[in-house]
């Protein structure tokens, strides 16, 4: 072989080596970029994705055209399921690579809110989520009424004025979903539905805010005065340890509301205070008693025979007596402590309690309420007289009647003919004062105001005399005056009177009472009794033996 031939083959060899090196360099750069690029762009079949070239002179190439393919000067579209690489070429050695994953086109799209209430000046970020395994990178948003609320390209809603509109989200394949938006005025004040809550350790409670009419705030920030007592998470407070804590809610415009939470130990025992006998078609509330300095808020109620006793769907502490029979009612606390009682439901017709009546005169001319309580306590064997109850245990306010609630105090002096009187809450407090001062823990006074007449008669059927608010002589009640105390309107009835109901007879249509305004027993027609009882707000107190 001559030198000329050798030189030719040498040149060919050098050219081939050079091409191989260039190819390997290109493949290495390509592989390095793809392998080390952590971002994978996900698009749906038929979806268009716009690339952002950094230079004006470029070309776009797909290395897997069957999966993702150029669809314009600077965009690509998903063709079929799979993964593919797209490159932007500026020069032979200057390229950008993008890795795409193509998934199914969406068939369902959900928004993070289907309904939303905002106040004027408040915003919210709306986002879309498609059904599993699909994707909708290109979602557009539109407001049905921009004068009420506007929405940006990325779903940020901005309220403009009061009213209603729809925010419509649309995927690239015309799949749509909407959110109904109501815009109200910014809050001027608000409050929690409960101002105070008592929890046992480990119990939870979901505070609820109440806004004024036509006011709202979607953005509310909660804070705690003591995070060793409570934890707030996912709109629920959890009791961590004994103590007191204030939960403060602050709206987007700075308006605040506070909830006082007291945490105590969970009780290790619980006592049911429900009656053993109830009349058919009666509704009753599940009453219970727990030891002092304990608390229970998370309570479950169950019954053994749902054909006899039925738990109300909305209020789990309300029981409906459906028909004759017996059923065991069980109350269970969060820590597993339970109490049960068998309840008999029947069509009871009558019962009369042997009861000794006291006379409020001459010592307590306007103290009918405290005398009625005293007569019931003496019925149960307590050695106490009415004047001691009135002087020592009855909460009283002598002046400014119209600034005081009779639920809390006796208005005036029961020893004076100028005294007004009091309502059920004050008598319950009087009994509690007496029990505490005399270390009596086997009785409890219960405010049963608002009960139905059949539930009222059920107490009598169980030999429990009931302190009852009526009118003197059972005349028809009418309001003689009213005043407001802490946003509550107090209505006072003329001839307000309190006595003890001791029996009933449905067949004869009579109700027996022990009237301390003279110290005598008599009966009144069932029709007139119920009319007056309801007219006085169905106000009553029962003293129960534990």
* Interval 312-352: pLDDT, tens: 999 999 999 999 999 999 999 999 999 999 999 999 999 99
Distance CA 87, CA 102 (A): 16
**Per the structure block, which two tokens stand in for 448?**
């049963």
Q: How confident is the model at residue 19 (pLDDT cuts 50, 70, 90)?
A: low
Model confidence at 31: pLDDT above 90: no
Is 7's pLDDT higher than 70? no
CA atoms of 501 and 539, how far apart (whole Å)? 12
Per residue in 176-213, pLDDT (tens digit) is 999 999 999 999 999 999 989 999 999 999 999 999 99
Q: Taking all residues of the chain, what is their mean pLDDT, rounded to a whole number?
A: 91
Lookup: tokens for 126: 């709306």
* Whether the predicted pLDDT of 27 surpasses 70: no
The encoded tokens of residue 305 equal 């025979």
What tokens appear for 303 in the block? Answer: 């019954």
List all residues 6 or more positions away from 256 whose beta carbon is below 8 Å from its beta carbon: 248, 249, 250
Query: According to the model, what pLDDT value does residue 91 have?
Result: 85
Phi/psi of residue 18, each to 5°? -60, -45
pTM: 0.72
What string of DSSP letters covers 64-84?
Answer: STTTEEE-SSSEEEE-SSEEE
pLDDT of residue 486: 83
pLDDT in the model for residue 146? 96
Q: Which residue has the tokens 């799979």?
A: 82
Q: pLDDT digit string (tens) for 164-176? A: 999 999 998 889 9
Residues 234-240: contacts with CB within 8 Å, 24+ apart?
A: 235/206, 235/207, 236/204, 236/205, 236/206, 237/199, 237/204, 237/205, 237/206, 237/207, 237/261, 238/202, 238/203, 238/204, 239/199, 239/200, 239/201, 239/202, 239/203, 239/204, 239/205, 239/263, 240/201
- The DSSP H or E segment spanning 87 is strand 82-91
* Paired tokens of 172: 């690239």
Task: From 135, 151, 153, 131, select the one nearest 143 (Cα to Cα).
Answer: 151
At residue 227, does pLDDT exceed 70? yes
pLDDT at residue 218, as a whole number: 93
Torsions phi, psi of 9, nearest 5?
-65, -30
Going by pLDDT thresholds of 50, 70 and 90, the confidence category of residue 34 is very low
- DSSP at 214: T
Domains of the chain, each with CATH number or no CATH: 38-103 (2.60.40.1080), 109-184 (2.60.40.1080), 190-264 (2.60.40.1080), 271-346 (2.60.40.1080), 350-545 (3.90.70.10)
Give 2's pLDDT tier (boundaries 50, 70, 90).
Answer: low
DSSP 212: P
Tally of helices (H runs) and strands (E runs) in the chain: 6, 45
Helix (H) or strand (E) holding 529: helix 526-535
Q: Once rounded to an integer, what is the mean pLDDT over residues 110-135?
A: 88
Task: List, for residues 351-384, the tens digit of each pLDDT value.
Answer: 999 999 999 999 999 999 999 999 999 999 999 9
pLDDT of amino acid 150: 97
Q: How far is CA 473 from the centre of its chain?
A: 45
Residue 28: its pLDDT value, please? 47
Cα–Cα dist 244/220, whole Å: 22
Task: Name the residue among 472, 520, 530 with its Cα closest to residue 496.
Answer: 472
Does residue 33 surpass a pLDDT of 80? no
Q: Could you tell me the maximum CA-CA distance found in the chain, to the nearest angstrom?
A: 150
Strand residue runs (E) in 208-333: 209-211, 220-224, 230-233, 236-239, 243-251, 256-264, 271-272, 277-279, 283-285, 288-289, 299-303, 309-311, 318-321, 325-333
pLDDT in tens, 439-489: 999 999 999 999 999 999 999 999 999 999 999 999 999 988 888 888 889
Please report the beta strands in 32-74, taking only residues with DSSP state E, as ranges in sequence order. 40-44, 48-50, 59-62, 68-70
Residue 91's CB is within 10 A of a number of other CB atoms, namely 9
- Contact indicator for 200, 295 with CB cutoff of 8 Å: yes
């Amino acid at each position: 072989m001559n030198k000329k031939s050798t030189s030719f083959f040498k040149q060919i060899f050098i050219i081939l080596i050079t091409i191989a090196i260039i190819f390997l360099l290109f493949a290495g750069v390509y592989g390095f970029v793809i392998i080390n690029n952590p971002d994978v762009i996900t698009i749906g079949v038929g979806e268009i994705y716009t690339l952002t070239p950094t230079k004006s002179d470029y070309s776009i190439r797909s290395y897997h055209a069957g999966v993702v393919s150029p669809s314009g000067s600077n965009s690509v579209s998903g063709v079929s399921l799979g993964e593919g690489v797209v490159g932007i070429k500026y020069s032979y050695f200057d390229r950008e690579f993008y890795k795409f994953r193509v998934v199914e086109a969406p068939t369902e799209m959900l928004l993070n809110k289907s309904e939303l209430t905002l106040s004027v000046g408040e915003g919210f970020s709306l986002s879309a989520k498609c059904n599993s395994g699909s994707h909708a990178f290109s979602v557009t948003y539109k407001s049905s009424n921009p004068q009420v609320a506007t929405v940006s390209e990325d779903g940020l809603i901005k309220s403009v004025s009061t009213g209603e509109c729809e925010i419509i989200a649309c995927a690239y394949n015309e799949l749509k979903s909407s959110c109904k938006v109501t815009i109200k005025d910014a809050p001027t004040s608000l409050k929690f539905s409960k101002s105070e809550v008592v929890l046992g350790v480990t119990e939870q409670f979901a505070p609820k805010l109440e806004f004024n009419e036509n006011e709202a705030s979607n953005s509310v920030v909660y804070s705690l005065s003591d995070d060793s007592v409570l934890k707030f998470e996912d709109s629920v407070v959890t009791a961590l340890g004994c103590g007191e804590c204030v939960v403060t809610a602050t709206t987007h415009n700075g308006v605040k509301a506070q909830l006082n939470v007291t945490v105590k130990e969970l009780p290790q025992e619980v006592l049911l205070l429900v009656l053993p006998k109830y009349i058919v078609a009666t509704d009753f509330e599940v009453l219970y008693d727990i030891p002092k300095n304990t608390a229970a808020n998370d309570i479950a109620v169950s019954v053994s025979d749902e054909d006899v006793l039925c738990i109300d769907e909305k209020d789990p502490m309300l029981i409906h007596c459906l028909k004759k029979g017996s059923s065991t009612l069980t109350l269970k606390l969060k820590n597993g402590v339970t109490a049960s009682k068998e309840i008999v439901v029947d069509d009871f017709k009558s019962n009369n309690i042997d009861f000794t009546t006291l006379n409020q005169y001459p010592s307590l001319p306007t103290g009918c309420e405290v005398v009625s309580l005293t007569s019931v306590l003496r019925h149960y064997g307590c050695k106490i007289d009415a004047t001691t109850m009135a002087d020592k245990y009855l909460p009283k306010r002598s002046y400014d009647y119209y600034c005081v609630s009779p639920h809390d105090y006796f208005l005036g002096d029961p020893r004076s003919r100028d005294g007004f009187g009091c309502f059920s809450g004050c008598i319950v407090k009087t009994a509690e004062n007496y029990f505490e001062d005399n270390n009596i823990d086997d009785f409890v006074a219960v405010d049963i105001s608002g009960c139905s007449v059949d539930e009222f008669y059920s107490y009598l059927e169980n030999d429990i005399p009931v302190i009852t608010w009526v009118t003197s002589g059972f005349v028809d009640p009418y309001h003689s005056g009213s005043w407001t105390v802490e946003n509550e309107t107090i209505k006072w009835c003329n001839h307000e009177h309190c006595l003890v109901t001791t029996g009933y007879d449905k067949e004869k249509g009579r109700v027996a009472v022990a009237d301390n305004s003279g110290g005598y027993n008599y009966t009144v027609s069932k029709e007139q009794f119920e009319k007056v009882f309801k007219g006085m707000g169905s106000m009553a107190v029962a003293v129960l033996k534990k």
